[in-house]
Structure 1
Amino acid sequence: MHAPQLLEREEDLAELERALARARAGTGQAIAVEGPGGIGKTSLLAAARAHGRDADMLVLHARGSELERAFPFGVVRQLFEPTLARTGELPFAGAAHLAKPIFDVAEGSEESSYARLHGLYWLCANLAAEQPLVVCVDDAQWADEPSLSFLGFLLRRLEDLPVALLVGTRPRAEQESDVLRALVTDPVTRVLRPTALSGDAVREWVRGAVDGQAADGFCRACHETTGGNPFLVRELLHEVVHKRLKATDAEAATVRALGPEAISTVVLQRLKRLPSSAPAMAQAIAILGEGARPTTAAQLAELDPITAEQALDALCRADVLTRDEDDRLGFVHPIVLSAIYHDLPVHVRAQGHHRAARLLADRGAAPEEVASHLALTPPREDAWAAEALRAAAARALVLGDPATAVASLQRALEEPPPPEARAAVLTELARAEAQSGRPAAVEHFRAAMELASDAQQRGQIALGLARALKFRGDSPDAIEVLRHALAEVEPGPLAEELELELVASAYISLAARPLLAEEIARIEAPDAPHTVLDRLHLMASAFETVIAAGPYERSAELARLALGPEQPTDVSAGGHVFITATTALMFSERYDEAERAYDRAVSDARRRGSSVGFANASSLRSLLHYRRGNLSEAEADATAALDLRNDVQGSQGYLACALNALVFARLERGEADQELLALAEDFFANQPTEDLPYSQAIHARGWLKARLGDAEGGLEELLACGEREQRWGVGTPQIIAWRSSAAEVCLTLGRLEEGRALAAEELRLARQIGAPRAIGVGLRVAALAEAGERRVELLAEAVEALERSEAALELARAQIDLGRALVRAGRREPARERLRAGQEGAFRCGASLLVERAHRELLATGARPRRNAAASRDELTPSERRVTQMAAEGLTNREIAQSLFVTEKTVETHLGRAFVKLGVRSRKQLADALADVA
């Protein structure tokens, strides 16, 4: 029975047409249709197809179901599976492979939810590269949370894809999901609120379905009775046809007696008029849910194949069921499903779901599909059910959905599992809770430890408990847990893992460090690494040498030994030793070696789709780039890391390094302003102060305040940064040169003696370390506190030290300061030489303010300096430069986008601007253009 389109108003239809036209043109658009129950299963899909013209757009369709909300990525699977069944592996190219475990039970390992969403985005992008897409989701108010998270992730990147996102949902008051509400209220989403069908539309429908001469009074009664709700109109007209009512004014009263409250009864009565096998088949499909397969439904209904097929045919002809081209079954509307499902007695429904779970498990269904049925059954002390729920939880973690894992394990505990398995289930629950940031994790870890049967099991649980405690900022308790476990377990791999966790706490937690003084003091660096524990001890020895301002060559040697080719590089996947040892290399001024190691970590993170790994490694690499004087690279890495700050909750400590590099790089480029200060302030509002790298953020904000005119406020923060560093035992200026920064601010405030004392102490420590960059920085600031020939001597010594380092920016700064000092001493010729060298060095670094300062000083000597050309590589923004370099190395736009966790259109925009600035027309010319201006 044909129904009018849901989107009846011309303005709504025009909005839909514009969205589809934009998608065809390559720019995505999202439309949310908020309507009352009764929209109908295919109405939004039909509208998309009618206006999207199937011939030129690929339509992906799914529908949320109230009974399947516990099925993670259930709606996503509905969207993609029919197309993937036809296309095979091709759409999983590149970063899309991260989404493959969602569709293949045998695939994948535990990854972050970001990795799965990143993979799904690129799956969409790969499909859209072949044909513009319509992603259509009906009844989104019942969609599972992971699928809604994907829709939100896609929405934020939609503008760069030829994709139209259409979401049908109940009104906002009926939307329980915060993710769905955010999607509907997002500024880029166009919200359509179609009114009920008009009286004219209902009259046209009645005359088309019942009687071409239907009386106005009869049609009016149909409209008033249903309120214009499309589904109710259709059901009403079904009943009118069945009862053979005359469409006259006299029968209007009969129509009003068939009001909305009678629709469920109408549906059930229609079932009774069908063959005797039809109700059983409909009930089986109601239990199995949307997308059920005919063979599974027949088995659950206990019907032979021929009888089942006859029942399905009758149900489809009676407009109870739909059957799509992929042989998936569903109901014409949720109201029909609800009427049939709720007509079953509660105990029959529960029994049906338990049988469905068993049946699906036997047929090799995904564990999460099995668990979605067990969630609708009461506990029955069924060991099989408990194990099935545990399997579903493990699968949810593979999919990056710890919240669903928590729900499955809570239900498994209610079953309950056998007594001997309870400790294991509690541990699994606690780990899932820890991953989703729930405080109950600690309670459940402790409960599991009490039930653990031996020291080995308690030790394994202790690892999870300690990490959960540290996550909530309770490192002292974590240390006690680890110490107790170490005292119990026998020497071996577990003991090594416990010790690694214990010692590593000293390098990530401010509160933990003093509590671990004894353990750290006992560490002896082995001559060569043979075990994981050996590498931990080498890493710790390297960092302790750095912290104590020991010889930089010794700390570099120890850090180099700690690194190994097979070590994990991601701090979220056991890579703490690798990252910390690499950072010790950076602080030991072994920049080339550290950069290669960070490059490896960034590459690994890109391959795994790890936002945490990418953000952390990029943050630290940005700090390294700044110290080398590569300002554009420093800003590009820092920006890429900070752009992910909302996706790395719980692991954002390293982002303080990115903020530090960003602030200092922009200051050197003359781009610091109140907006940058606001970014720093916002960072402080969300940063866990327990993390040791937090000092980098304090240093950056203090220096930024001072440079923006608040010298007193800036000095206060710089001194607070120093106090914090000393509190955890850091003597070296190699981690943060807060003394030299504070000394410069003191000098601007006229506090000469205080500034001189700070500079002298930094220089003393730098000479103790022996690292040329540290010595050069210390000498330069000490010189600023002197005058006359003494200043010239110290600056000349600073230049000499920095010429032995890889610190191009600091060398340029010292050369310019030396040139200025020589000018004031009346020695113009050597001054010009130093100023020119400093200006060239600053130009290569991209330090605009230093270039300008050198230019002014050269003018003061009577020279006629040539201002550096503006049209060069250094006119590129950091992001443009990063993308251009990758393109010159042969990467495609898609490969660049996947590597940098951005969209393809963002890459296209950066490249287009870079082409204009560099004066090139093709990618083949990029390498030469970049080399010409190097």
Structure 2
Amino acid sequence: MSDRASAVTSVPPLVGRARQMEALARHAAAARSGRPRLVLVDGPAGVGKTALLRAAVAADGPFAGMTVLYGGCRAVDAATGYSAVRALCGRLGLTSRKGRTSPLLDGGARRALPALVTDPADPDNPGAAPDNTFSVLQGLYWLAVNLMAEAPLVLVLDDAHWCDERSLRWLDFLLRRADGLPLLVVAAHRTEAGLAAPDALADLAAHHLPDPLRLGPLDASEVAELTAGLFPGRRPEPAFVGRLVSVTGGSPLEAVRLLRDLRSAGLGPDEEGARRIAEAGGKVVAASVHGVLAGQPGWVREVLLALAVLGDEDTAYLAALAGLSALHVEEGVEILGQAGLVQAGRREPVHDLVRAAVLDRLGATGVARLRLRAARLLSDIGRSPEETAAQLLAVPGPGDAWTTSVLRAAATQAEQRGAPEAAARYLERVREADPDDPDVLTRLGKALAETDPKRSVGLLHEAHTLTTDVRARTATAVQLALTCLSVQQSPDGARVLTEALDDLDAELGTAPEPADRELRTLAESALLIVGADEKSTLPDVLRRTAGITPPPGDTPAQRQQLAMLGVLAAVDGHPAAESVRRARRALRAPGVPLGPWSLLPASLALSLADENRAADAALETVLRGSRDTAAVWTYVLALSTRSLYRLENGAVADALADAQTSLEILGQERWGDSAVTPHTAYAAALAERGEVARAEESLTAIKRPRLDRFAWEYHWYLMAHGRVRAVGGDPEGALEAFRACGDSLDAAGLRNPVFAPWWLEAACLLGGLGRTAEAREAAAYGAPLAELWGTPRALGYAALARGAATPGPAGVALLRRAVALLESSPARAHHARALLLLGRATLAGGSVREARDHLREAVGLARRGGCVALAREARQDLVDAGGRMREITASPLDMLTGTERTVAGLVASGAGNREVAESLFVTVRTVELHLTSVYRKLGVGRRADLTEALRAGGPPPPVPPRMSA
């Protein structure tokens, strides 16, 4: 805990602050009971915010019995990522070799280390070099949870107006996940001060509606009480109190400074003291500081200057900066402490007004020289680049070569720490010195990709333009294009990559070196990824693939290219065998980790080709890797993609579990509104269960602008939209969606018959309406493509569409073929639909008994897959045909929500609540609530009975991969 003291420790520090202390006590009581709170203490400089916090964290204060982490922010650290977090957590001692074995770092909390250590790239640091900022935020969250397992937690942050942006974002992250946790966050900030991270502080306040504790000036009675505390036994005269209030404006800090100066001069709270106060005029603290220093040797001022710049530092380093002996520094600190200018127990000025008063006398040029000397000193003694850069950022101007080298190194540390805002600040200063350095522009663009994507792309474009070397230009083009993809500007990225590849080919000739071949393969694979994102660029990418010879797959870039060639061959309508060969070769990498851009496209190609086991294995690898690195966006994408695969295979309950889990994770993130696939998958799964209203709500929640540009998400969306309309009794609305899907697929050049089988849905719907000519037209579109693709699913779809469009015995024959083909495919839902249509067709032909058999089988198959709407439809047809069957009612397992099913599966596999929470990026409280609901719905009372209950209720729920750490 910080030992920052009030200006005059002998004076009661909380005069007039009883109401605020009572409020803090109430909030502490609420936090102890699991009702988290955020409290913002604000007021002007010198009004007593620090004194209030110090009294609150005292042993007999309102936070007694709670774990208290106290930290103060400094102006010099405002640009350093997670500096406030390190100020709060410093006393935990987690960064030493011994500290890293602390149980506080168990589980996901180990990911917090990059925010806590001095050097996040330290090879001895197991949490070094995070893949994304979310990883560190998640680690810090679990560190806080571990602390709260021991006692209620209070985070007390002083001078929050200087808090760095990343620390504020973490507090927001923590509070959004704090439901049911014993947590209190108290932050004090100066009302009139400029904020280091105004947007982050505003977001924190807006999201959590803090209780404001505003500290105003002291009134006359309170000033009189303060005076009496400093002059015990003497009653201050009313004229003296009035003069003191008038000069200080009721500021406790200024009042204490004046009272202390009076006492030092042998004066008291009387008429003569009032005259002396009147002479003080406006800048009380500055006048008091310079008054104290005027009566001391000149070297005392040098000590205070060193303290004002370096803070609580080793005596030898303070002496080096001040140009004094260590003995002079020690004596100077003692003199300044006795004068009330330096904190008791810490060698820091008692207030930033004191710091400003002594530095202002140097002038801007003098302060700049002093900070440059301090930066050199910190560098020479081996301090981290970020610590050195903090001094350099306070010096205006671009700086020399040494300065820019330190700032570059500091940016690297910030990147490794998962603090892009800090990296951007360092790089902005480097850019002042070298505005045309492509490397700086590229790094700055990457750092701004999340917070300012428009500027990010502009900077990367500028870097690309300034790069003259063809190879370096190609590498920059890859970075630019992938950034364009992340900010939904992929056509621009595809254009840049195409031009870069043309230039590279002209440079390399016909026999490039191995390194050049790998660079070219990397660029071409990136072009396939970026160009396949939108419909406008996909046809060009498909044409380009015709001239690419599939590589052997010996390098990461080759495997990435093979994966994209596999999926693009699939959507271009090639026979399935070629697509499968490429996808499997892309995944053939023993001992070599595969990235998401190899695994996700390969899984899609394999899923389209009925290679479900291999597709699931690829997705499991993505899920496991993204969970271990806390790459939440990749995790959500993989989970929602798997939901679509499972839905197409008729595993509705499993699909619903994946989709709802991904949506629950998204609901906690600021960027969740831009997601499409989780909402689409959830809506489609709900439609299969007959829950039309909820499905429509999920589709309405999609906020992606200009969704119709995109090659993958838009068609999945249209298919879900059509199914929702069909199940909801709106066949014309459904047909409109399906036909729009077909037109859009044609425009994009997507010809795979099972990717978005609108033609099948349209043929079945039109056949049921008796519009056979239109049904035959839809079937005639898709059936030849399906026969070319050649999988049992595709051939079954073709037979089903033709059978639905063909009345009479010819149609029955086609439907029999569809049932046989689909029975040998993974498409259980369409197998059940084929049985339903065959039952109707045979009934129309007079074969009642056979019809009942088909309809009864359709009911059972649909129900086992969770296709409740289809099962009810088939059951009604069976009853109408004279058959008997009970109403389709939900089993206990059907009553579970998707997330409850996922949680139940993990718990049944042996995972504890904490492990489940870390696996799904949710809180332990959320897991507990889901598990309680599972127990109630399944009628069990303990974990040991859960496995049997799940087995009795139907097929076991999907079990996400467990965390590896």
Please report the TM-score for the alignment, with normalisation by the length of structure 2.
0.88
Could you say which residue in structure 2 is the equivalent of 1:100? 113
* 1:554-575 CA-partner distances (Å, limit 9, x unpaired): 42233112213469878xxx53
Q: Does 1:196 align with 2:188?
A: no
Q: Does 1:240 align with 2:262?
A: yes
CA distance in 1 between counterparts of 2:787 and 2:114 reads 55
**Deviation at 1:604?**
0.2
Q: 2:169 aligns with which of 127, 141, 149?
A: 149
**Deviation at 1:92?**
2.3
Could you say which residue in structure 1 is the equivalent of 2:540? 515
CA distance in 2 between counterparts of 1:588 and 1:871 reads 33
Where structure 1 has 5 or more consecutive residues not aligned to the other structure, the ranges are none
Q: 1:60 aligns with which of 69, 74, 83?
A: 69
**Deviation at 1:270?**
2.6
Contact 1:740–1:758 (8 Å) recurs in 2: yes
Amino acid at match of 2:256: R
* 1:723-767 CA-partner distances (Å, limit 9, x unpaired): 222222111122111223344565688765334311332233223
Q: Does 1:722 align with 2:746?
A: no
Q: 1:749 to 1:828 in 2, by over 3 A?
A: closer
**Deviation at 1:781?**
4.4
* 1:138-163 CA-partner distances (Å, limit 9, x unpaired): 22122111111111111211224221
Contact 1:819–1:830 (8 Å) recurs in 2: yes
Which stretch of structure 1 is more off in the superposition, 466-475 or 248-257? Answer: 248-257
Q: 2:329 aligns with which of 293, 297, 308?
A: 308
Could you say which residue in structure 1 is the equivalent of 2:24? 16
Could you say which residue in structure 1 is the equivalent of 2:132? 112
CA distance in 1 between counterparts of 2:15 and 2:284 reads 26
Q: 1:882 to 1:779 in 2, by over 3 A?
A: same
Could you say which residue in structure 2 is the equivalent of 1:352? 370
CA distance in 1 between counterparts of 2:193 and 2:727 reads 49
* 1:874-911 CA-partner distances (Å, limit 9, x unpaired): 22111011011111112221221111111111111111
Could you say which residue in structure 2 is the equivalent of 1:286? 308
Q: 1:89 aligns with which of 101, 104, 107?
A: 101
Amino acid at match of 1:497: L
* 1:81-138 CA-partner distances (Å, limit 9, x unpaired): 2213584432222222222122231142252222221121112112222222101112
CA distance in 2 between counterparts of 1:65 and 1:697 reads 49
Contact 2:21–2:52 (8 Å) recurs in 1: no
Contact 1:872–1:917 (8 Å) recurs in 2: yes
**Deviation at 1:390?**
0.8
CA distance in 2 between counterparts of 1:783 and 1:196 reads 85
Q: 1:322 to 1:553 in 2, by over 3 A?
A: same
**Deviation at 1:181?**
0.8
| Partner SS for 2:185 | strand
* 1:54-90 CA-partner distances (Å, limit 9, x unpaired): 6521111222223321112111110112213584432
| Partner SS for 1:629 | coil
CA distance in 2 between counterparts of 1:780 and 1:9 reads 79
| Partner SS for 1:134 | strand
Q: Which aligned pairs between 1:587-666 and structure 2 lie closer than 5 A?
A: 587-643=608-664, 655-666=675-686
CA distance in 2 between counterparts of 1:676 and 1:141 reads 44
Contact 1:6–1:230 (8 Å) recurs in 2: no
CA distance in 2 between counterparts of 1:258 and 1:112 reads 54
**Deviation at 1:667?**
1.1
Which stretch of structure 1 is more off in the superposition, 20-29 or 192-201? Answer: 192-201
Q: How many equivalent residue pairs? A: 922
CA distance in 2 between counterparts of 1:477 and 1:378 reads 36
Q: 1:271 to 1:682 in 2, by over 3 A?
A: farther
* 1:596-642 CA-partner distances (Å, limit 9, x unpaired): 11011011001111122212212211211212223233233223434
Q: Does 1:209 align with 2:222?
A: no
CA distance in 2 between counterparts of 1:344 and 1:137 reads 30
CA distance in 2 between counterparts of 1:146 and 1:612 reads 19
Contact 2:731–2:765 (8 Å) recurs in 1: yes
Q: Does 1:478 align with 2:497?
A: yes
Which stretch of structure 1 is more off in the superposition, 823-832 or 877-886? Answer: 823-832
Contact 1:462–1:482 (8 Å) recurs in 2: no
**Deviation at 1:839?**
2.8
Q: Which aligned pairs between 1:651-690 and structure 2 lie closer than 5 A?
A: 655-673=675-693, 676-677=696-697, 679-680=699-700, 682-685=702-705, 689-690=709-710
Q: 1:297 to 1:776 in 2, by over 3 A?
A: farther
Q: 1:277 to 1:763 in 2, by over 3 A?
A: same
Contact 2:438–2:463 (8 Å) recurs in 1: yes
Which stretch of structure 1 is more off in the superposition, 394-403 or 582-591? Answer: 394-403
**Deviation at 1:30?**
1.5
Which stretch of structure 1 is more off in the superposition, 918-927 or 823-832? Answer: 823-832
**Deviation at 1:349?**
1.1
Q: Does 1:773 align with 2:785?
A: no
Which stretch of structure 1 is more off in the superposition, 490-499 or 866-875? Answer: 866-875
Contact 1:452–1:458 (8 Å) recurs in 2: yes
**Deviation at 1:480?**
1.5
Q: Which aligned pairs between 1:860-875 and structure 2 lie closer than 5 A?
A: 860-867=880-887, 870=890, 872-875=892-895
| Partner SS for 2:283 | helix
Q: 1:46 aligns with which of 49, 52, 55?
A: 55
Contact 2:474–2:497 (8 Å) recurs in 1: no
Q: Which aligned pairs between 1:486-565 and structure 2 lie closer than 5 A?
A: 486-489=505-508, 490-492=512-514, 493-525=518-550, 528-532=552-556, 534-536=558-560, 538-565=562-589
Q: 1:185 to 1:675 in 2, by over 3 A?
A: farther
Q: 1:904 aligns with which of 902, 924, 929?
A: 924
Amino acid at match of 2:156: C
CA distance in 1 between counterparts of 2:60 and 2:604 reads 56
CA distance in 1 between counterparts of 2:32 and 2:620 reads 38
CA distance in 1 between counterparts of 2:60 and 2:728 reads 55
**Deviation at 1:643?**
4.7
**Deviation at 1:914?**
1.0
Q: 1:179 aligns with which of 200, 205, 214?
A: 200
* 1:227-278 CA-partner distances (Å, limit 9, x unpaired): 4333233323323323443323675455455455332221232344456543
Could you say which residue in structure 2 is the equivalent of 1:385? 403
**Deviation at 1:848?**
2.9
Percent identical among aligned pairs is 31
| Partner SS for 1:322 | coil
CA distance in 1 between counterparts of 2:814 and 2:600 reads 36
Q: 2:602 aligns with which of 559, 572, 581?
A: 581
CA distance in 1 between counterparts of 2:766 and 2:839 reads 23
| Partner SS for 2:709 | coil
CA distance in 2 between counterparts of 1:50 and 1:672 reads 58
Q: Does 1:376 align with 2:390?
A: no
Which stretch of structure 1 is more off in the superposition, 517-526 or 528-537? Answer: 528-537
Could you say which residue in structure 2 is the equivalent of 1:464? 479
CA distance in 1 between counterparts of 2:240 and 2:448 reads 59
Could you say which residue in structure 1 is the equivalent of 2:355? 337
Cα-Cα RMSD? 3.3
Q: Does 1:432 align with 2:415?
A: no
Amino acid at match of 2:709: T
Could you say which residue in structure 1 is the equivalent of 2:39? 31
Contact 2:13–2:52 (8 Å) recurs in 1: yes
Amino acid at match of 1:393: A
Contact 2:461–2:480 (8 Å) recurs in 1: yes
* 1:190-238 CA-partner distances (Å, limit 9, x unpaired): 3333443344433322212224422344334434443433323332332
CA distance in 2 between counterparts of 1:566 and 1:435 reads 34
Which stretch of structure 1 is more off in the superposition, 620-629 or 5-14? Answer: 5-14
Contact 1:652–1:687 (8 Å) recurs in 2: no
Q: 1:516 to 1:880 in 2, by over 3 A?
A: closer
**Deviation at 1:449?**
5.4
Contact 1:49–1:59 (8 Å) recurs in 2: no
Contact 1:5–1:47 (8 Å) recurs in 2: no
| Partner SS for 2:343 | strand
Where structure 2 has 5 or more consecutive residues not aligned to the other structure, the ranges are 1-7, 955-965
Contact 1:72–1:145 (8 Å) recurs in 2: yes
CA distance in 1 between counterparts of 2:131 and 2:758 reads 38
CA distance in 1 between counterparts of 2:938 and 2:394 reads 63
Q: 1:133 to 1:879 in 2, by over 3 A?
A: same
